[in-house]
Amino acid sequence: MLIITHGGAGRFDEETVERVVEILRAGDGGQVDVCQCGTQEELQRTLDERDDETVVAAGGDGSIHQLVATLYARDELSRRTVGLLPLGTGNDLARNLGIPLDPGQAARLIREGGTRELDLLVDDEGGVVLNAVHVGVGATAATYAARFKHFLKVAAFPLGAVLAGLRATGWRLRVEADGELVAEDKLLMVGLSNAPGIAGGSAQLAPDASPADGRMELVVSAATGPIARVRYALGLREGAHKHHDDVLYTAVKSATVSGEEFLVNSDGEVSGPYTRRSWNLVPKAWRMIAPPDAG
Protein backbone atom coordinates (compact mmCIF):
# COMPACT_ATOMS: atom_id res chain seq x y z
CA MET A 1 0.00 0.00 0.00
CA LEU A 2 1.25 3.46 -0.91
CA ILE A 3 0.12 6.61 0.92
CA ILE A 4 0.51 9.89 -0.97
CA THR A 5 0.72 12.95 1.26
CA HIS A 6 0.55 16.62 0.44
CA GLY A 7 1.59 19.05 3.17
CA GLY A 8 -0.89 21.68 2.03
CA ALA A 9 -4.02 19.83 3.21
CA GLY A 10 -6.15 21.67 5.76
CA ARG A 11 -5.71 19.22 8.67
CA PHE A 12 -2.39 17.64 7.64
CA ASP A 13 0.31 16.97 10.22
CA GLU A 14 3.11 14.40 10.42
CA GLU A 15 1.95 12.98 13.75
CA THR A 16 -1.48 12.13 12.33
CA VAL A 17 0.06 10.39 9.32
CA GLU A 18 2.38 8.36 11.56
CA ARG A 19 -0.56 7.26 13.71
CA VAL A 20 -2.50 6.24 10.61
CA VAL A 21 0.42 4.23 9.25
CA GLU A 22 0.68 2.34 12.55
CA ILE A 23 -3.00 1.41 12.32
CA LEU A 24 -2.61 0.21 8.73
CA ARG A 25 0.50 -1.81 9.50
CA ALA A 26 -1.28 -3.46 12.41
CA GLY A 27 -3.60 -5.21 9.97
CA ASP A 28 -2.19 -8.06 7.89
CA GLY A 29 1.38 -6.88 8.32
CA GLY A 30 1.67 -5.79 4.67
CA GLN A 31 4.07 -3.10 3.58
CA VAL A 32 2.82 0.48 3.96
CA ASP A 33 4.98 3.26 2.54
CA VAL A 34 4.48 7.03 2.64
CA CYS A 35 5.61 9.38 -0.13
CA GLN A 36 5.19 13.15 -0.03
CA CYS A 37 4.32 14.54 -3.44
CA GLY A 38 4.06 18.30 -3.41
CA THR A 39 3.97 18.66 -7.19
CA GLN A 40 2.43 16.86 -10.15
CA GLU A 41 5.92 15.88 -11.31
CA GLU A 42 6.67 14.22 -7.96
CA LEU A 43 3.39 12.31 -8.09
CA GLN A 44 4.10 11.08 -11.62
CA ARG A 45 7.61 10.00 -10.66
CA THR A 46 6.34 8.15 -7.59
CA LEU A 47 3.70 6.28 -9.60
CA ASP A 48 6.35 5.42 -12.20
CA GLU A 49 8.52 3.87 -9.49
CA ARG A 50 5.77 2.12 -7.54
CA ASP A 51 3.31 -0.52 -8.70
CA ASP A 52 1.21 -0.73 -5.52
CA GLU A 53 -2.29 -2.08 -6.04
CA THR A 54 -3.71 0.30 -3.40
CA VAL A 55 -2.85 4.01 -3.46
CA VAL A 56 -4.19 6.24 -0.69
CA ALA A 57 -4.45 10.03 -0.78
CA ALA A 58 -3.83 11.62 2.62
CA GLY A 59 -5.41 15.05 2.16
CA GLY A 60 -8.54 16.82 1.06
CA ASP A 61 -10.70 16.96 -2.05
CA GLY A 62 -7.86 18.52 -4.02
CA SER A 63 -5.50 15.68 -3.12
CA ILE A 64 -7.87 12.86 -4.04
CA HIS A 65 -8.89 14.70 -7.21
CA GLN A 66 -5.26 15.03 -8.29
CA LEU A 67 -4.56 11.35 -7.60
CA VAL A 68 -7.59 10.03 -9.49
CA ALA A 69 -7.05 12.47 -12.38
CA THR A 70 -3.45 11.33 -12.69
CA LEU A 71 -4.35 7.63 -12.57
CA TYR A 72 -7.06 8.24 -15.20
CA ALA A 73 -4.60 10.00 -17.50
CA ARG A 74 -2.14 7.11 -17.02
CA ASP A 75 -4.89 4.55 -17.75
CA GLU A 76 -4.27 2.92 -14.36
CA LEU A 77 -7.69 3.20 -12.69
CA SER A 78 -8.60 -0.33 -13.75
CA ARG A 79 -5.67 -1.92 -11.91
CA ARG A 80 -5.29 0.32 -8.85
CA THR A 81 -7.66 0.76 -5.91
CA VAL A 82 -7.88 4.24 -4.39
CA GLY A 83 -8.22 5.10 -0.71
CA LEU A 84 -8.71 8.37 1.16
CA LEU A 85 -7.55 9.63 4.52
CA PRO A 86 -9.58 12.88 4.76
CA LEU A 87 -7.24 15.58 6.04
CA GLY A 88 -8.66 18.50 4.07
CA THR A 89 -10.94 21.40 4.92
CA GLY A 90 -14.20 20.54 3.18
CA ASN A 91 -13.76 16.79 2.63
CA ASP A 92 -16.82 16.67 0.39
CA LEU A 93 -16.00 13.32 -1.20
CA ALA A 94 -15.47 11.67 2.18
CA ARG A 95 -18.74 13.10 3.51
CA ASN A 96 -20.68 11.91 0.46
CA LEU A 97 -19.22 8.40 0.54
CA GLY A 98 -19.57 7.93 4.28
CA ILE A 99 -15.82 7.78 4.88
CA PRO A 100 -15.11 8.76 8.52
CA LEU A 101 -13.58 12.20 8.92
CA ASP A 102 -11.54 10.95 11.87
CA PRO A 103 -8.19 9.80 10.37
CA GLY A 104 -7.94 6.81 12.71
CA GLN A 105 -11.39 5.54 11.80
CA ALA A 106 -10.70 6.16 8.11
CA ALA A 107 -7.49 4.12 8.43
CA ARG A 108 -9.41 1.21 9.94
CA LEU A 109 -11.86 1.39 7.04
CA ILE A 110 -8.94 1.19 4.59
CA ARG A 111 -7.48 -1.73 6.52
CA GLU A 112 -10.76 -3.63 6.15
CA GLY A 113 -10.46 -3.12 2.40
CA GLY A 114 -14.08 -3.10 1.19
CA THR A 115 -14.34 -1.37 -2.20
CA ARG A 116 -17.02 0.25 -4.35
CA GLU A 117 -17.06 0.85 -8.08
CA LEU A 118 -17.77 4.54 -8.71
CA ASP A 119 -18.76 6.66 -11.68
CA LEU A 120 -16.58 9.44 -13.03
CA LEU A 121 -17.35 12.69 -14.85
CA VAL A 122 -14.86 13.35 -17.67
CA ASP A 123 -14.61 16.72 -19.43
CA ASP A 124 -13.68 17.56 -23.01
CA GLU A 125 -10.07 18.26 -22.04
CA GLY A 126 -9.57 14.89 -20.35
CA GLY A 127 -10.04 16.22 -16.84
CA VAL A 128 -12.13 14.38 -14.28
CA VAL A 129 -14.75 15.28 -11.67
CA LEU A 130 -15.29 13.02 -8.67
CA ASN A 131 -17.92 14.97 -6.79
CA ALA A 132 -19.36 18.03 -8.56
CA VAL A 133 -18.62 20.69 -11.14
CA HIS A 134 -20.26 24.15 -11.19
CA VAL A 135 -20.43 27.00 -13.64
CA GLY A 136 -21.52 30.48 -12.56
CA VAL A 137 -22.14 31.46 -8.96
CA GLY A 138 -20.72 28.16 -7.65
CA ALA A 139 -17.32 28.93 -9.17
CA THR A 140 -17.48 32.52 -7.94
CA ALA A 141 -18.31 31.31 -4.43
CA ALA A 142 -15.32 28.95 -4.45
CA THR A 143 -13.06 31.84 -5.47
CA TYR A 144 -14.24 33.93 -2.52
CA ALA A 145 -14.07 30.98 -0.11
CA ALA A 146 -10.44 30.29 -1.04
CA ARG A 147 -9.48 33.66 0.44
CA PHE A 148 -10.75 32.66 3.88
CA LYS A 149 -10.17 28.87 4.07
CA HIS A 150 -6.87 29.20 5.92
CA PHE A 151 -8.53 31.19 8.73
CA LEU A 152 -12.17 30.06 8.76
CA LYS A 153 -11.81 26.42 7.60
CA VAL A 154 -15.24 24.95 6.72
CA ALA A 155 -16.97 28.24 7.62
CA ALA A 156 -15.29 29.81 4.57
CA PHE A 157 -17.68 27.97 2.22
CA PRO A 158 -20.97 29.57 3.34
CA LEU A 159 -19.23 32.95 3.55
CA GLY A 160 -18.04 32.55 -0.05
CA ALA A 161 -21.59 31.64 -1.08
CA VAL A 162 -23.01 34.76 0.58
CA LEU A 163 -20.47 37.06 -1.10
CA ALA A 164 -21.02 35.45 -4.49
CA GLY A 165 -24.80 35.63 -4.09
CA LEU A 166 -24.62 39.34 -3.38
CA ARG A 167 -22.45 40.17 -6.38
CA ALA A 168 -23.25 37.64 -9.10
CA THR A 169 -26.21 38.56 -11.30
CA GLY A 170 -25.96 35.81 -13.91
CA TRP A 171 -24.34 34.71 -17.16
CA ARG A 172 -25.81 34.33 -20.65
CA LEU A 173 -25.45 30.58 -21.17
CA ARG A 174 -26.73 27.75 -23.32
CA VAL A 175 -27.08 24.31 -21.71
CA GLU A 176 -27.43 21.08 -23.67
CA ALA A 177 -27.97 17.69 -22.04
CA ASP A 178 -27.90 14.30 -23.76
CA GLY A 179 -27.88 16.08 -27.12
CA GLU A 180 -30.91 18.31 -26.47
CA LEU A 181 -31.19 22.00 -25.59
CA VAL A 182 -32.52 22.35 -22.03
CA ALA A 183 -31.83 26.01 -21.21
CA GLU A 184 -30.72 29.20 -22.95
CA ASP A 185 -31.02 32.28 -20.79
CA LYS A 186 -29.32 34.43 -18.22
CA LEU A 187 -28.46 31.81 -15.62
CA LEU A 188 -27.15 32.00 -12.08
CA MET A 189 -25.62 28.54 -11.96
CA VAL A 190 -25.20 25.30 -13.86
CA GLY A 191 -24.08 22.30 -11.83
CA LEU A 192 -23.37 18.65 -12.50
CA SER A 193 -23.10 16.41 -9.48
CA ASN A 194 -22.17 12.80 -8.88
CA ALA A 195 -23.01 13.00 -5.15
CA PRO A 196 -25.30 15.08 -2.90
CA GLY A 197 -23.19 17.52 -0.88
CA ILE A 198 -20.78 20.33 -1.74
CA ALA A 199 -19.04 23.17 0.10
CA GLY A 200 -17.96 21.21 3.15
CA GLY A 201 -21.42 19.79 3.69
CA SER A 202 -23.05 23.22 3.84
CA ALA A 203 -25.08 22.70 0.64
CA GLN A 204 -26.99 19.83 -0.96
CA LEU A 205 -26.62 20.59 -4.64
CA ALA A 206 -28.01 17.23 -5.77
CA PRO A 207 -29.82 15.51 -2.89
CA ASP A 208 -30.82 12.57 -5.12
CA ALA A 209 -27.36 11.96 -6.57
CA SER A 210 -25.44 8.73 -6.08
CA PRO A 211 -21.80 8.17 -7.10
CA ALA A 212 -22.56 4.72 -8.55
CA ASP A 213 -25.93 4.91 -10.32
CA GLY A 214 -24.73 5.55 -13.88
CA ARG A 215 -26.03 9.10 -14.12
CA MET A 216 -25.23 12.64 -12.94
CA GLU A 217 -27.65 15.24 -11.67
CA LEU A 218 -27.97 18.45 -13.69
CA VAL A 219 -28.97 21.62 -11.82
CA VAL A 220 -29.72 24.78 -13.81
CA SER A 221 -30.75 27.87 -11.86
CA ALA A 222 -32.26 30.95 -13.47
CA ALA A 223 -32.63 32.65 -10.08
CA THR A 224 -30.87 35.87 -11.10
CA GLY A 225 -32.96 38.46 -9.23
CA PRO A 226 -31.90 39.64 -5.73
CA ILE A 227 -34.71 37.86 -3.85
CA ALA A 228 -34.49 34.80 -6.10
CA ARG A 229 -30.76 34.46 -5.41
CA VAL A 230 -31.35 34.48 -1.66
CA ARG A 231 -34.15 31.94 -2.01
CA TYR A 232 -31.91 29.70 -4.12
CA ALA A 233 -29.06 29.91 -1.60
CA LEU A 234 -31.37 29.04 1.29
CA GLY A 235 -32.84 26.16 -0.69
CA LEU A 236 -29.37 24.73 -1.33
CA ARG A 237 -28.81 24.18 2.38
CA GLU A 238 -31.28 21.26 2.52
CA GLY A 239 -31.78 20.55 -1.18
CA ALA A 240 -35.17 22.29 -1.41
CA HIS A 241 -34.03 24.31 -4.45
CA LYS A 242 -34.84 21.39 -6.74
CA HIS A 243 -38.55 22.19 -6.27
CA HIS A 244 -38.22 25.88 -7.25
CA ASP A 245 -39.92 27.04 -10.45
CA ASP A 246 -36.74 28.75 -11.68
CA VAL A 247 -34.57 25.63 -11.24
CA LEU A 248 -34.21 22.72 -13.66
CA TYR A 249 -33.23 19.53 -11.83
CA THR A 250 -32.84 16.29 -13.78
CA ALA A 251 -30.59 13.26 -14.33
CA VAL A 252 -28.38 13.14 -17.45
CA LYS A 253 -25.38 11.33 -18.88
CA SER A 254 -23.77 14.20 -20.80
CA ALA A 255 -23.94 18.00 -20.75
CA THR A 256 -22.44 21.00 -22.53
CA VAL A 257 -22.36 24.61 -21.34
CA SER A 258 -21.53 27.46 -23.72
CA GLY A 259 -21.93 31.21 -23.88
CA GLU A 260 -20.22 34.25 -22.41
CA GLU A 261 -17.00 33.68 -20.47
CA PHE A 262 -17.43 31.67 -17.28
CA LEU A 263 -15.30 30.02 -14.61
CA VAL A 264 -15.54 26.32 -13.75
CA ASN A 265 -15.29 24.87 -10.26
CA SER A 266 -14.33 21.17 -10.44
CA ASP A 267 -14.20 19.49 -7.02
CA GLY A 268 -13.29 22.82 -5.45
CA GLU A 269 -10.60 23.79 -7.98
CA VAL A 270 -11.45 26.85 -10.09
CA SER A 271 -10.25 27.17 -13.70
CA GLY A 272 -11.05 29.25 -16.76
CA PRO A 273 -12.45 31.44 -18.14
CA TYR A 274 -14.08 29.33 -20.86
CA THR A 275 -16.82 29.88 -23.43
CA ARG A 276 -17.64 26.17 -23.89
CA ARG A 277 -17.17 23.01 -21.78
CA SER A 278 -18.62 19.50 -21.97
CA TRP A 279 -18.82 16.57 -19.54
CA ASN A 280 -19.70 12.90 -19.95
CA LEU A 281 -20.40 10.31 -17.30
CA VAL A 282 -18.26 7.15 -17.34
CA PRO A 283 -19.99 4.44 -15.26
CA LYS A 284 -17.97 2.35 -12.81
CA ALA A 285 -14.71 3.93 -13.93
CA TRP A 286 -12.76 3.41 -10.71
CA ARG A 287 -12.64 1.55 -7.41
CA MET A 288 -12.44 3.21 -4.02
CA ILE A 289 -12.30 1.90 -0.48
CA ALA A 290 -15.59 3.08 1.02
CA PRO A 291 -18.51 1.79 3.10
CA PRO A 292 -20.71 -0.47 0.96
CA ASP A 293 -23.96 1.30 1.87
CA ALA A 294 -22.75 4.84 1.17
CA GLY A 295 -24.14 7.16 -1.46
> What are the residue ranges of helices labelled H in the chain?
14-25, 40-49, 61-73, 92-97, 103-112, 137-146, 149-152, 156-167, 226-238
Mean pLDDT (whole number) for 92-104: 94
* Average pLDDT value over all residues in the chain: 89
What Cα–Cα distance (Å) separates residue 52 from each residue in 31, 32, 48, 214, 248? Answer: 10, 10, 10, 28, 43
What is the three-class DSSP state of 104? helix
Mean pLDDT (whole number) for 8-12: 52
pLDDT at 294: 45
pLDDT at 161: 61
279 and 266 Cβ atoms separated by less than 8 Å = no
> Measured between alpha carbons, how far is 228 from 249 in angstroms, rounded to an integer?
16
Which sequence spans correspond to the domains of the chain? 2-113, 128-282
Higher per-residue pLDDT: 88 or 209: 209
> Measured between alpha carbons, how far is 288 from 49 in angstroms, rounded to an integer?
22
CB atoms within 10 A of CB 167: 11
Q: Is the pLDDT of residue 112 over 60?
A: yes
When pLDDT is cut at 50, 70 and 90, the band that residue 108 belongs to is very high
When pLDDT is cut at 50, 70 and 90, the band that residue 157 belongs to is low
pLDDT at 129: 97
Q: Is the pLDDT of residue 218 over 70?
A: yes
User: Poorest-confidence range of 33-42, 78-87, 160-169?
Assistant: 160-169
Q: Is the pLDDT of residue 295 over 50?
A: no
When pLDDT is cut at 50, 70 and 90, the band that residue 14 belongs to is confident
Q: Which CATH number fits domain 128-282: 2.60.200.40, 2.60.40.10, 2.60.40.1220, 3.40.50.10140?
A: 2.60.200.40
Q: Is the pLDDT of residue 42 over 70?
A: yes
What single letter denotes the amino acid at residue 75?
A: D
Class of the domain covering 2-113: alpha beta
146 and 88 Cβ atoms separated by less than 8 Å = no
3-state secondary structure 25-62: HCCCCCCCEEEECCCHHHHHHHHHHCCCCEEEEEECHH
pLDDT at 97: 95
Does pTM top 0.85 for this prediction?
A: yes
Strand partners, 150: none
Residues 132-142: pLDDT tens digits? 999 998 787 76
pLDDT at 163: 58
Q: Is the pLDDT of residue 233 over 60?
A: yes
